[in-house]
Structure 1
Amino acid sequence: MSRQFVTEAVMMAIYGQLLVPGSSVEYIVPYTTILELYELRDSDEPLMNIPDEDRHVKVKIGELIAYFEEPLNQKKIRRCLTIPWAKSPAIVLGEQARVTVINSVDNASYGEIFDPIETELLLASQREKIPILTDQIELIHRIIDGGVPVTVYDIDDFEFAVEEETFRRSH
């Protein structure tokens, strides 16, 4: 059985290790985070502090967009977009990684503390009963401080998170 995590599409572009995990992993990705890839790719704002890294990440974002736009993958994504909370069939990202797009809906339940994409991550995590994987330390702190009932892992702890989720599912 795959380990599952809710995450943003951009995390897969920034952190290449997510595409080559040591065991089977499925990422549940809100559709709005795929739309955000286009904004990030076209933005003049740097995503990374080092110019070479920023160029590299923007190339990876472009590659991920192109992959999602391939006809079969695009068809899979479109299948989930007519019904709120519907999920696409899995899209293979490598030997051990796959992504499932979820048509999440921001219902503003966390609107004061979290932005719309963060809210969708939280709601998807709660709905699917799987942890969030993020690199946003301030988001992790707001989740903890707000007492939001989700499990969240820092992306730097990805290997630990995969092992931890394996342990939880086997006990």
Structure 2
Amino acid sequence: MSFANTDSIVADDLNNMLRGLSKDNSDNAHTGDTAETDLASVTLAANSMGTTGGIHVLAWGTTTGTAGTKTIRGYFGGTAVGVGLIVAQADADEWIYEFWIYNTSTSAQIGTTRAMKAAGSGGASEVFGNYSATFTIDTTASVIVKMTGELGNGGDTVTQKGFNILVIEPT
């Protein structure tokens, strides 16, 4: 099934185990200031996760510049998922950030995050934590899922090259 990054689904559309909700494989860059800035944002329709469904979010990109650190974060319903991927000052690297969120009820979730950077000008590849947590987001209402970039120096750049969301059917 093909889908566009403007598509949305509702819970009663979930007739497969896994379904794409959003795909954005275009470059979305942040440079010029040090404010935390959205690289991508998608609204998950109310009830899309059902009572026990979930989502898998995968984002990837690059960083350039050596003046300051670059921080990449994922969000679910306004809450940061994990601690953020920190790319050190001297690094110009590729990065991957992914997270899974599963409903344990329509207002409680468990989740895990994995973030990595490739070996680049800053040295060896690294995994920046496998982080797990609980959340209390009401998924009977629409939920914003997004990735952000924040720069330690406005002369640097963080570019998101892809942002995909898959919905996992409730059991």
Quickly name the TM-score band, shorter chain normalised. under 0.3
What's the TM-score, normalizing by structure 1?
0.22
What's the TM-score, normalizing by structure 2?
0.22
- Normalized per residue, the structure richer in helix is 1
Relative contact order higher in (CA < 8 Å, ≥ 6 apart): 2
